[in-house]
């Protein structure tokens, strides 16, 4: 089954784009590309036109996850699988595709109502990525922009959907076998492109997204800049048990977190064994320094779901 191949883009609704601009350029090292109108900012982190779109719509939440497939045939096959699974699917308009800078897309919702898009044909911009502070860049390419962690009302329904319809494979499960509270899934060698937390109560769809730097020094200097600029570190430096990422988490102006990391291991489907973690732990570090404004139904998960 041909499934999605990478996390291509995120669209996030924000209420304070200027605060987002300051964090993106002052700490994260992202390049700001002007939007199509004054309501949006595009954030660039590699050769793509953008990887993150910020919409000034006041929602402060995830507004779309964009998953890439190889080509039109793969897109149409996936659309058929969605219809066969009883999921309403809509072809994106030309305007929507142009806004995303893709050739063609479809749009639908995941089992928890998260707006989801699948596309092919994201253009490459030959102008080199120009980081907004002196960093060595981000690990993206075929592994996509990083990972996103979302909340699911019914974890088992989410797991089934992302595997059976979108073609993901499970990397790890966290929590008791009969009632896991988190799942980590991959669609390429990145350990997880999406993770999901069982959380039927929180109104916010997203828990955090992760950007992986090419250098540990970029992570350390980013942490220094957070402290200098007053950006809130909500989970401090540590190394995750499952993907081995060395990272910290900074709170953003939309009251969720951005994980800023380096050094994760990758997954080889030929040899990977699904991991089972009874709780979310780190090899070292990752102390929780403050809670994000949005409560989570699972306190242990709120600390640091990688
Ligand atoms: Fe993470």
- pLDDT category at 178 given cuts 50, 70, 90 is confident
Distance CA 121, CA 68 (A): 8
In angstroms, what is the span from residue 139 Cα to ligand 1's centroid? 14
CB 197 within 8 A of CB 175: no
- Report percent pLDDT > 70 for the chain: 93
Query: 252 C-alpha to center of ligand 1: Å?
Result: 15
pLDDT mean across residues, the chain = 92
Res 39 pLDDT > 70: no
Residue 108 has phi, psi (to 5 degrees) of -165, 180
pLDDT surpasses 50 at 165: yes
The pLDDT tens digits of the residues spanning 181-238 come to 999 999 999 999 999 999 988 899 999 999 999 999 999 999 999 999 999 999 999 9
Angle, CA of 235, 264 and 22, to the nearest 5°: 50
Tokens representing 111 are: 């089992």
Looking at residue 151, its pLDDT comes to 97
* 99 CA distance to ligand 1 middle (Å): 27
**CB of 97 within 8 A of CB of 138?**
no
Q: What does the pLDDT look like over 123-161, one tens digit per residue?
A: 777 789 999 999 999 999 999 999 999 999 999 999 999
- Please give the distance, rounded to the nearest whole angstrom, from the Cα atom of residue 38 to the centre of ligand 1: 30
**What pTM value is reported for the model?**
0.94
Taking the centre of ligand 1 as the mean of its atom positions, its distance from the CA of residue 246, in whole angstroms, is 10
Span from the CA of 194 to the centroid of ligand 1 (angstroms): 9
Amino acid 196: pLDDT:
97
In contact, 228 and 242? CB cutoff 8 Å? no
Tell me the CA–centroid distance for residue 148 and ligand 1, in Å. Answer: 7
**How far, in Å, from the CA of 243 to the mean position of ligand 1?**
9
For strands 147-152 and 206-212, give the pairing. antiparallel
User: In this structure, what are the phi and psi dihedrals at residue 95, rounded to the nearest 5 degrees?
Assistant: -60, -45
With cut-offs at 50, 70 and 90, classify the pLDDT of residue 304. Answer: low
> Band of the pLDDT at 95, cuts 50, 70, 90?
very high
Q: 176 alpha carbon to ligand 1 midpoint, in Å?
A: 20
For residue 14, give the nearest of 53, 56, 48 by alpha carbon: 56
Average pLDDT over residues 42-66: 95
Does the pLDDT value for residue 295 go beyond 70? no
Ligand 1: distance of its center to the CA of 86 in Å?
31
∠ Cα 186 237 205 (to 5°):
45
Whole-number Å distance, alpha carbon 118 to ligand 1 midpoint, is: 22
pLDDT digits (tens, 9 = 90+) for 265-282: 999 999 999 999 988 789
**Contact yes or no for 198/183 (Cβ under 8 A):** no
Residue whose C-alpha is closest to residue 151's, from 292, 3, 39: 292
């Amino acid at each position: 089954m041909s499934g999605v191949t990478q996390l291509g883009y995120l669209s996030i609704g924000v209420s304070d784009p200027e605060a987002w601009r300051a964090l993106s350029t002052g700490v994260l090292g992202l390049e700001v590309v002007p939007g199509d109108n004054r309501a949006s900012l595009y954030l660039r982190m590699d050769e793509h036109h953008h990887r993150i779109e910020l919409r000034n719509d006041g929602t402060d939440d995830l507004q779309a996850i964009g998953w890439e497939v190889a080509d039109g045939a793969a897109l149409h096959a996936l659309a058929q699988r969605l219809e066969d699974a009883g999921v309403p699917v809509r072809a994106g308009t030309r305007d929507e595709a142009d806004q995303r800078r893709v050739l063609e897309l479809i749009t639908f919702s995941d089992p928890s109502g998260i707006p989801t898009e699948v596309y092919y044909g994201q253009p490459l911009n030959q102008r080199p990525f120009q980081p907004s502070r002196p960093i060595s860049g981000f690990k993206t390419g075929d592994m996509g922009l990083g990972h996103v962690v979302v909340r699911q009302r019914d974890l088992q329904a989410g797991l089934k959907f992302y595997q059976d319809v979108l073609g993901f494979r499970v990397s790890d499960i966290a929590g008791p076998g009969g009632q896991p509270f988190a799942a980590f899934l991959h669609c390429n060698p990145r350990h997880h492109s999406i993770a999901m937390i069982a959380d039927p109560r929180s109104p916010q769809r997203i828990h955090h997204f992760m950007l992986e730097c090419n250098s540990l020094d970029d992570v350390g200097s980013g942490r220094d800049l957070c402290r200098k600029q007053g950006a809130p570190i909500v989970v401090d430096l540590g190394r995750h048990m499952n993907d081995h990422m060395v990272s910290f988490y900074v709170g953003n102006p939309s009251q969720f977190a951005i994980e800023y990391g380096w050094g994760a291991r990758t997954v080889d489907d030929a040899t990977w064994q699904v991991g089972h973690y009874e709780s979310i732990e780190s090899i070292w570090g990752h102390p929780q320094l403050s809670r994000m404004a949005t409560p989570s139904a699972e306190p242990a998960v709120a600390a640091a779901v990688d």
